[in-house]
Amino acid sequence: MPESRCLQGIWSSPWIFIFAASGSAVGLGNIWKFPYVLGQNGGGAFLTIYCLCLLLVGLPVLVAEVALGRTVRSNPIDTVNDLSERRVVHPAWVFVPWLAGITGFLILTFYSVIAGWSIAYLDRAVSGELVGITQAGASNMFNGLLAAPTEMLLWHSVFMALVVLTVGQSVTRGLSTIVRILLPVLIVALLLLASYSMVIGNTHAALDFMFRWAWQDVTFEVVLSAVGLALFSLSVGMGAMFAYGAYMSKRMSIARACSIVVGVDLLVAILAGLLIFPLVFSFQIDVQAGPSLTFVSLPIIFGHLLAGQFFAGVFFLLMVVAALTSAISMLELFVAWLHERFYIARLNAALLMGVAVWSVGVAVLLSFNHWDSKLVFGLNLFELLDQFTSLVLLPMGAILLSVLVAWFIPRSMLQNEMITKRASHFQWWYNTLKYISIPAMIVIVVAGWIGV
Ligand code: PFF
């Protein structure tokens, strides 16, 4: 396969892949979703299972996705079309990249609304509304935002416009520079804020909650949530990492690069937990509050901090940029495909997809207010999309993609990729994917769905 990709070019340095992939992985999933899902699933046991899922499912599947992307240097849809034309796989497999793309599309419809909340909080932080805020004030502020569809619409539209403009450019340009600055600053900011939160909050209860194992919290539903969150957080199962792998230099060991991405992703999630839970327990916020957890507890720390207005502004700005570097990878699959297959200019392709995502997003934001009583299976549209993507589509996408790589792509083709530097490590990865990750995902998904 050629080193240079036909239409997009290659990341200029192997490290750029790590930055870009970390940019996709680290986002609202770590700062917003991880704390609330941990809160809803009981804490310590979930965290341990989550770490195991990252290691035994997330990492091998991530390596598989990136490896396939780099082997073929194309977008996922054309890749599988091409493989089926060469009779490597049955034409029915074309369904898999479509499923992956649709999953990314659906995730972006609500991701953009939540990113819009972050912009709304950035706006409030800059205008000084968080200074001296109390717990009751923070709850009222969040409820006030949910009850204001016009404001949510404004920020959702602003975020989608940013996504479209960024994806409209070639993703290899500029992204790594943003992430290279963003990631270290985000980690330092989280470290400082988490330390402060542990000083003013109930650290004992928080650590006990986050790290204490309790057998009664272990059910297949909890394990399924952990798998879903691990895949969501690593951006795996949606073709996003496949697309980034397609731009990766051949010189980099894929396993090494992916391990770094997983490590960074977990670090950011744990720091977000250490920031939020001491406040949750100190200010008696309901640990099971769900999606509001981060947005109700975070303002409290800024209300207490010296120069809280400044820190709040910086933090919410980092959160918005982190959301942006994740969101662009959700659209990349379809944009790259429209561009490479139909020669539609990237900006036009991004605009087309962006308008479609935006429209569904409008319905999502209305599900927090005007349409909050319109329920399907007892869930509003946001909850439905969130759970359907995390618990059904993502695991299905990850299973099918892994089966494709492990059972259908010729082993020699993968062995030629520099998946690891040592041949024995290749065997290790291949066997883990085949005999641990895939069976584990199938068992967990089936058992979780039937509610064992
Ligand atoms: N991994 C991102 C996060 O944790 O916020 C979310 C995400 C990015 C999901 C890209 C899906 C995707 F394709």
Helix (H) or strand (E) holding 135: helix 135-146
Section 139-153 average pLDDT: 96
pLDDT at 10: 61
Q: Is the CB of 24 under 6 A from ligand 1?
A: yes
Question: 161-181, pLDDT tens digit by residue?
Answer: 999 998 888 765 667 777 888
Alpha helices by DSSP H, 169-237: 175-200, 203-211, 220-233
Tokens of 264: 């960074």
Whether residue 5 is predicted with pLDDT greater than 60 in this model: the reply is no
- Bigger pLDDT: 37 or 72? 37
Tokens of 120: 């709304």
pLDDT at 71: 83
Question: 86-111, pLDDT tens digit by residue?
Answer: 888 888 998 998 999 999 999 999 99
**What's the pLDDT band for 452 if we cut at 50, 70, 90?**
low
- Domains present along the chain, CATH in parentheses: 14-449 (1.20.1740)
Centroid of ligand 1 to alpha carbon of 160 (angstroms): 15
**What's the pLDDT band for 424 if we cut at 50, 70, 90?**
confident
**Cα separation of 193 and 278, whole Å?**
11
Ligand 1: residue of 326, 386, 390, 401 to mutate (most ligand atoms within 8 A of CB) is: 326
**Cα separation of 338 and 314, whole Å?**
36
* Amino acid found at 218: V
DSSP 148: -
DSSP 147: T
Mean pLDDT of the chain: 90
**What's the pLDDT band for 415 if we cut at 50, 70, 90?**
confident
Give me the DSSP letters along 273-285: HHHHHHHHHHTT-
pLDDT at 173: 62
pLDDT at 9: 57
pLDDT at 168: 87
- Kindly report the protein residue whose alpha carbon is nearest to atom 13 of ligand 1: 330
Q: Is the CB of 308 under 6 A from ligand 1?
A: no
Question: 16-34, pLDDT tens digit by residue?
Answer: 888 889 999 999 999 999 9
Longest dimension (CA), the chain: 65
**What's the pLDDT band for 274 if we cut at 50, 70, 90?**
very high
**Residue percentage of the chain with pLDDT more than 70:** 95
Q: Can you tell me which atom of ligand 1 is nearest the CA of 28?
A: 5
Q: 239 and 101 in contact (C-beta within 8 Å)?
A: yes
Q: What interface predicted TM-score (ipTM) does this complex get? A: 0.98
* Dihedral over alpha carbons 359, 388, 319, 8 (to 10 degrees): -70
